[in-house]
Amino acid sequence: MIFDIVAAVFIVAGLVFFALGVLGVLRFPDFFSRMHAAGKCDALAAILIILGFMVYVLKDFSGPSLLVALKIFFIAIFIFVASPTATHALVKTALLLGAKPWSRQEWLERRRQK
Amino acid sequence: MTAKIATFLVMLAFWVVLSGKLDAFHLTLGVLSSLLIAWFSSDLLFFGGDRRSWVRGTIGLALYLPWLLWEILLATLHVAWVAIHPRMYEVIDPQIIRFKTRLKRPISKVALAQSITLTPGTITVDIDEDEFTVFALTNSAAEGCPGSLEPRVAKALEFD
């Protein structure tokens, strides 16, 4: 019972962070700030959900369930390494190709002209 | 030789965890393939450095990662707050900042770059020798970079 509750808390927390990340992707003004929401809220959310899965699998503790938990943990490590690498590669490429980040100064000037 | 043996042990442990079968047939297959990998590509897993620095680095990382997870949680809450902020355009101020690091080892530079990218609000764009280029989402994220990350990484991975 207590394992179920802990697992549910982790998974719900992960889903909340995913939802906030989606909200960020929809609301932020340009590619770069969207990368912040997409690339990083996701990493934490995915890791929280995976932790929830691990707790749920370990509910009936045994050799095989420990192995499954370890396999799930490997996925978490992979996300931990792959997610920032992908984010970094996308942002660097966009800057190299000359995409201009949304600038607060320009936005303030545009608003003044209206 | 030490690198080959260490690679073999790591690969065998990985095989056992992934296969989950402990009978003679599957274990023999695992030993054979681990031996092959250790023979051909041990220098891919354990490159450079002596045994002591590997042990110290592993312990340092094990102590560093829980703290990093906590930082990621705090920083994600910050970005989430910005994402749901009603007047978001007045909060965000995307900017590119540059700073010099005093980290020497390539592995600790990579660790710092990945940590900066993992903490929301900042993305590492480039590392050139000892100069980091970082893209920050808000003023406070830009000011807090590298902040306490750099001494922590130095403590975990920078020695000898």
**pLDDT the model gives residue B55:** 78
Asked whether the beta carbons of A30 and B137 are under 8 A apart, the reply is no
Confidence of residue A9 (pLDDT cuts 50, 70, 90): very high
Q: What is the pLDDT at residue B58? A: 79
E strand or H helix that includes residue B135? strand B131-136
Has residue A51 got a pLDDT over 80?
Answer: yes
Given CB atoms, is A78 within the 8 Å cutoff of chain B?
no
| Of residues B73, B92, B124, nearest to A33 (C-beta) | B92
* Count of domains observed in chain B: 2
Take residue A64 and report the two structure tokens written for it.
């095989």
Q: A12 pLDDT band (50/70/90 cuts)?
A: very high
* Chain B interface disruption, residue of A9, A17, A20, A36, most B CBs within 10 A: A36
Q: Is B25 on the interface with A (CB under 8 A)?
A: no
One domain, residues B34 and B62: no
Range of the domain at B63: 51-157
For residue B137, give the nearest of A33, A84, A107 by CB distance: A33
What's the helix, strand, coil split of chain A in %, to 5?
85, 0, 15
For residue B72, the chain A residues in CB contact (below 8 A) are 40, 43-44
CATH number at residue B121: 3.30.1370.10
Same domain, yes or no: B65 and B92: yes
ipTM > 0.85 for the complex: no
pLDDT of residue B48: 64
Q: Do residue B55 and residue B134 come from a single domain? A: yes
Residues B2-18 pLDDT 10s: 778 888 888 888 888 88
Same domain, B65 and B141: yes
Reply yes or no: is the peptide bond before residue B146 cis, omega within 30 of 0: yes
User: Cβ contact (<8 Å) for A88 and B119?
Assistant: no
Closest approach of B117 to chain A, Cα-based (Å):
5
Average pLDDT, whole number, for chain A?
Answer: 83
Assess whether B65 and B137 both reside in one domain.
yes
pLDDT of residue B160: 54
Assess whether B117 and B138 both reside in one domain.
Answer: yes
How far is B155 from chain A, CA to nearest CA, in Å?
21
- DSSP state, residue B136: E
Residue ranges, chain B, pLDDT below 70: 47-50, 120, 141-142, 144-147, 159-160
Q: Predicted confidence band at A107 (pLDDT cuts at 50, 70, 90)?
A: confident
What is the predicted pLDDT for the residue at B85? 78
Say whether both B96 and B141 belong to one domain.
Answer: yes
Assess whether pLDDT exceeds 90 at residue A86: no
**HSE (CB half, 13 Å, CA atoms) of B54?**
11
In angstroms, the separation between the Cα of residue B39 and the nearest Cα of chain A is 24
Q: Assess whether B74 and B131 both reside in one domain.
A: yes
Domain match, B24 and B73 both:
no
Q: Shortest Cα distance from B143 to chain A (angstroms)?
A: 17
Which secondary structure element, helix H or strand E, spans residue B128, and what is its range? strand B122-128
CB contacts of B94 in chain A (<8 Å) are 30, 32-33, 101-104
Of the residues B45, B65, B80, which one is the last residue of a structural domain?
B45
Residue B111 backbone dihedrals phi, psi, to 5 degrees: -60, -40
Query: Whole-prediction pTM value?
Result: 0.76
